[in-house]
A and B are shown apart, each in its own frame.
Chain A
Amino acid sequence: MNLVYLILLPLLTAVLILLARNATQVKLMALIGSAAQIGMSIYLYVAYTTEAAFSKGTQMYFEKQYEWFPSWHITFHLGVDGISVAMILLTAFVVIAGVLVSWNVEKMTKEFYFLLILLSLGAYGFFISLDLFILFFFLEIAVIPKYLLIGIWGSGKKEYSANKLALMLMGGSALVLVGLLGLYFTTPEHSFDLMKLSQVHIPVDVQRICFPLLFVGFGVFTAIFPFHTWVPDGHSSAPTAGSMFLAGISMKLGGYGCLRVATYIMPDGAKEYSTIIIVLSSIAILYGAFATMMQKDLKYINAYSSVSHCGFVLFGIGMLTKTAMTGAVMQMVSHGLMTALFFAVIGMIYERTHTRQVKEMGGLLKVMPFITTLLFIVGLCSLGLPGLSGFVAEMTIFMGSWEHPDMFHRIATIIACMSIVVTAVYILRAVGQTAMGPLKDEYKNLGDAKWNEKAAAIILLTGILAIGIAPSWLNDLIKPATEIIMQKIAGAQ
């Protein structure tokens, strides 16, 4: 299949949305478009698996290369491996869920959906691009839509949060840019091409400079400690779909970049800095968990827990073992689905109760069983209940990181494990206070989920369960890719 369609489809959708005459048309366009996305991504998965079954060992599938700024040796080079396919699936799921959840946005509907679709465009482009220049291009495309989404449709201190988000992400991409340039000029035939870069051996001293730049740069996107502070504010002020996209997709861009660009191209750097990465990410994991424990606003709770969970991603990458890396990717997918659902649920609750303060709720299970059941499920998922996606990912990471026999990695792993207890604490606090306990009078006659909310939830839930109950498909999807990366790392001195 031609990967360009993955970019053209959202583009076309966006154009149609702009052309649409009224709100309902816009929504329909968006829905159809995102449905098409999901169809296409599933088709991609199928095609990929069949292809991969035939030709084992090839790294990238469906490669396409178009001339673009030839004088800079930039080519529009596309291709996917298991990891990208997984991320694309995730994106498609989150996108359609987001579109559905924000069905009753009245304010500037057209612009809203336009920006949403633009975001998805950025994500797809990012995941399929094999040329670091276009990768960067797509990375930055996503920044402004986020800013506008939060700033225009957000709530609370939205301007502040939007600014913070845009600027911190910009800072991240600035670092990335410098790192990329460093790589570009160290390669003999100045090239941004990932495949080419992966073949040449980057001098170690260059790696020493560029790896941290790239890793931290991408890390900002996935809330590396201490650059995570845009996450709570950004998520909490964003509109529901906005938070879903932020946490579900765009935080994953960072993780993907850390893995695919920083770690893969600069194995020496990765090895050299892995200790620091592990320290930072374990801090993020436990620290985020404890910080979550003190939060009172549902969105803040989920935001901080996202910090903690994305810590697992970096943790897995930093461990530099195949299993842990696979786990990291799984965690990206699982966390993406889970947190998207979580935000969707929070949004549903907020729409009804008009508060996100945990204290002010209680006993909602009585009036909105569907939504609160979702809340239970997603909460359990995030505390790693077997049968849901979180368990699979985290266990894989633990198993992988335990493969290091030395004390440091052991302790780091144990610290990471501890977070699952803290997670249990805060999740139960939140869920317990929200769904259980006596019901407040003012909430006596609230309604349960509507069709669109149900649809969105079910879509995401399918993903979560599909991973949680039968993880092997995802595992088999990701493993070959991580194997290749690990080979490169093993090759490094």
Chain B
Amino acid sequence: MIEPGLYHLLFISAALFFIGVFGFFTRRNLVIMLMSIELILNSVNLNFIAFNKYLWPNKLDGLFFTIFIIAIAAAEAAVAIAIIINLYRSHRSIDVENAEEMKF
């Protein structure tokens, strides 16, 4: 087995990213779409940390970026969930297919 390194991590993060994308495309439940978003953000975090560790350890840019991404992810999730709940109140469902009144 090969010694794991940067490219392994990049592979993992990219995979994670597109798994998230896949989930975002396919899941009809808004909450799960939100989860997929979280996966995407995490893959990005992984990228940052990996680069920071293997390529640019002289500064902590990647690390800090990760921290802030996490913070923002929290905020985003909060607002999103609030909106979803509100949507649920009006639609009595959180199926994305039921929320396409506006089109064309």
A and B directly contacting (CB within 8 A): no
- Interface residues of A, Cβ cutoff 8 Å to B: none
- Interface residues of B, Cβ cutoff 8 Å to A: none
